[in-house]
Amino acid sequence: MPLTKLREFLDGHHIKYLVISHSVAYTAQGIAALVHVSGKKLAKTVIVKIDGVLAMAVVPASYHVDLALLKASAGAQKVELATEQEFKDKFPDCETGAMPPFGNLYGMTVFVDQSLAENEEITFNAGTHRELVRMDWQDLARLVAPRVMRLTSTILVKPAA
């Protein structure tokens, strides 16, 4: 079960967290609506390639990663979205598209949008399209040591009709 690796890691560090189960949903906006969480408070993990190296960009569900901002903030030559083919084998314990923002468990650097760091809590996919984890932002920041920066512009994701 995908949550096992994350749960063992959190439990091993004595972290308090809440698991939220929901019916199957594949988009961050769809999940936010199902569990009645603002799209600005639900984090989604987007896999990107920064100068050819896979990394995680974590942004609010209602926003897109601004690749130009990430490129400038990371001091990179090239930043692009990774294809599913390029990253699916990196997360054997996760359903594709439901990766938690714990790049340290997968050997990846994590970049987090500064707006998520302004919240007391963070909610994110727990490795499946049926479960979320909610925990204190400070605990995630301490365990993952993400690079916090501006990763989004003012363009919101339009909810699916």
More confident: 26 or 9:
9
In a domain, 154, yes or no: no
32, part of any domain: yes
Residue 161's pLDDT is what? 45
Residue 28 sits in a domain of what CATH number? 3.90.960.10
Confidence check: pLDDT of 4 > 90: no
Q: In terms of pLDDT, which residue wins out, 23 or 72?
A: 72
Task: Output the pTM of the full model.
Answer: 0.87
pLDDT for res 25 = 59
User: Is position 160 within any domain?
Assistant: no
- Tell me whether residue 66 is in a domain: yes
* Residue 110 located in a structural domain: yes
Total number of domains in the chain: 1
- Residue of 33, 103, 120 lying closest to 112 (CA atoms): 103
Domain membership flag for residue 159: no
Domain with 52, as residue range(s), is 3-147
Query: What is the C-alpha separation between 69 and 71, in angstroms, rounded?
Result: 5
Domain-embedded: residue 152: no
Q: Is residue 47 included in any domain, yes or no?
A: yes
Taking the CA atoms of residue 13, residue 135, residue 103 and residue 142 in that order, the dihedral angle to the nearest 10 degrees is -60
* 98-131: pLDDT as tens digits: 899 999 999 999 999 999 999 999 999 888 888 8
